[in-house]
């Protein structure tokens, strides 16, 4: 999601020292490559596209650094939510910050006891969910890549209209993320149990 934010920021920087028409902007309004995704819509509270782009890139790099180095710390998920919210408000797109916030909420459970899972789900159910986790994890990554840059590649190089696929891919991406989170909790509850034994 941070890399998608950087991509939005680059598009905004390339628009130069101009004033956006409103809070809703397009990161790549003139780009044929990004036409399949509507020019990459975003919103910004910063009244200058160049500044918005620079701030978007900085916030995206902060999000990337946080995810790679600090998210597992106490309040790591909360801080990731705040960085993602900032990314949403400065021009980092719509879906990348929202998806990052959803992941951050789940990340807030890092290093917390998963007693609910052990109390309410049988070990067999948790084992099954644990086996399904890689499928949903990689499904989420692949559907995100299908959205960006996949739709743009299909449209630009092969002339395939991506508008038909956007809703399907978006639903699959959100569903994969939700299922990866749920099965991940089940998987972690098994690891936690094994380490306690």
> What digits encode the pLDDT tens for the residues 112-124?
777 888 888 899 9
- Cα 165 → chain centroid: 18
Determine the length of the chain.
Answer: 197
Average pLDDT, the chain: 90
pLDDT digits (tens, 9 = 90+) for 57-69: 999 999 999 999 9
* Higher-confidence position of 73 and 86: 86
pLDDT digits (tens, 9 = 90+) for 15-50: 999 999 999 999 999 999 998 888 999 999 999 999
Please say if the pLDDT value at position 108 is more than 80: no
The per-residue pLDDT for 196 is 46
> Around Cβ 91, how many Cβ atoms within 10 Å?
32
What phi and psi values does residue 162 have, to the nearest 5 degrees?
-80, -10
Q: What is the CA radius of gyration of the chain?
A: 19
* Among the listed residues 14, 117, 123, 4, the one whose alpha carbon sits nearest the alpha carbon of residue 64: 4
pTM of the model: 0.84
User: Quick one: average pLDDT of 108-112?
Assistant: 73
pLDDT digits (tens, 9 = 90+) for 124-156: 999 999 999 999 999 999 998 988 888 888 888
Cβ pair 100, 94 in contact under 8 A: no
What band does 160 get if pLDDT is binned at 50, 70 and 90? confident
pLDDT digits (tens, 9 = 90+) for 173-191: 889 989 999 999 898 888 7
- 25 bridge partner residues: 42
């Amino acid at each position: 999601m941070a890399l998608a934010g950087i991509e939005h920021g680059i598009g905004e920087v390339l628009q130069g020292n101009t004033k956006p028409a409103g809070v809703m902007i397009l990161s790549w309004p003139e780009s044929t490559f990004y036409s399949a995704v509507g020019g990459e819509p975003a919103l910004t509270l910063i009244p200058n596209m160049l500044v918005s782009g620079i701030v978007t890139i900085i916030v995206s790099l902060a999000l990337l650094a946080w995810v790679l180095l600090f998210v597992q710390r106490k309040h790591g998920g909360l801080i990731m939510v705040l960085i993602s919210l900032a990314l949403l408000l400065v021009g980092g797109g719509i879906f990348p910050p929202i998806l990052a916030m959803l992941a951050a909420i789940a990340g807030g459970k890092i290093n917390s006891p998963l007693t609910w899972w052990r109390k309410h789900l049988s070990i067999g159910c948790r084992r099954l969910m644990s086996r399904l986790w890689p499928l949903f994890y990689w499904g989420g990554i692949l559907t995100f890549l299908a959205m960006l840059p996949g739709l743009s590649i299909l449209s630009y190089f092969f002339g395939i209209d991506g508008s038909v696929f956007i809703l399907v891919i978006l639903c699959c991406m959100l569903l994969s993320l939700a299922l990866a989170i749920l099965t991940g909790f089940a998987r972690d509850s098994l690891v936690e149990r094994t380490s306690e034994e």
